[in-house]
Amino acid sequence: MIRIAIIDDHPLICDGVRGWCAAARPPIAVADDYPRPAAFLTATGPDRGELDAVVLDLQFEQRAPDLGALGAICERGHRVVVYSQHTEPHLVRDCLDLGAVTYLSKTEGREHLITALYAAAEVRPYLSPTMARAMSTDGDDRPKLSQREREVLLAWFQTESKALVAQQLFITPGTVNTYLERIRAKYAAVGRSAPTKAALVARAIRDGLISTDEL
């Protein structure tokens, strides 16, 4: 069974997410919920443990979203689904850069959250409407990818591992890594780093390299 934790200081949100997870098919187990990121970090120790995903709000006692807490949780290897009332495009992109796997608005509700949690547990990208809007802004900072780089990128988005990409494209896993490192280097060179798979998905959709139908 998929196991998650919730970090949110609103009991109503925690109870609602618990209810949605219990009613999901297959059901999702909520290991615990925490009112603050610090409580989660203290209770769970230095590694990911048995958690498949973490649902994280961004705003607690402070007025500004707490990106430092997000970064600390991602650094421990957790797959974080941000669940926030904030939808500013720059904030969404910043969270993806820090390692969040998906960014959801709290207005998007049960269907999107449960789907995002299944995707996180299976290490698959999930593009929420909030992410799609954040990545749809115009810009002339698109890196130039070769046709082969695009093929490798799309295959990686559509499969669960680099080994499967290698089999599909008749190349070695090392070559897959080389292509992905080259793509990330091109994004970094134009000031749009994409350190995670979710961030790279968002960048590629914004730049027209792939469409949501291809995922």
Calpha distance 13→152 (Å, rounded) = 39
Residue 34: inside a domain, yes or no?
A: yes
Calpha distance 28→193 (Å, rounded) = 32
109 and 43 inside one domain = yes
How many domains is the chain built from? 2
Q: Which of 111, 134, 157 is where one domain is finished? A: 134
From 35-39, 77-81, 157-161, 203-207, the region with the lowest mean pLDDT: 203-207
Residue-wise pLDDT for 100-126, tens only, equals 889 999 999 999 999 999 999 987 878
Residue-wise pLDDT for 93-107, tens only, equals 888 878 888 999 999
Residue-wise pLDDT for 131-159, tens only, equals 888 876 655 577 888 889 999 999 999 88
Calpha distance 81→96 (Å, rounded) = 10
109 and 167 inside one domain = no
pLDDT value at residue 47: 65
Calpha distance 166→127 (Å, rounded) = 24
The DSSP H or E segment spanning 34 is: strand 28-34
89 and 151 inside one domain = no
Residue written as tokens 């807490």? 69
Residue 173: inside a domain, yes or no?
A: yes
The pTM (predicted TM-score) of the whole model is: 0.74
Task: Tell me the CATH number at 129.
Answer: 3.40.50.2300
**pLDDT, mean over the chain:** 88
CA-based nearest residue to 118, from 160, 153, 89, 77:
160
Residue 141: inside a domain, yes or no?
A: no
130 and 156 inside one domain = no
Q: Which domain holds residue 97?
A: 2-134
Residue ranges with strand state E in 58-139:
80-84, 102-105
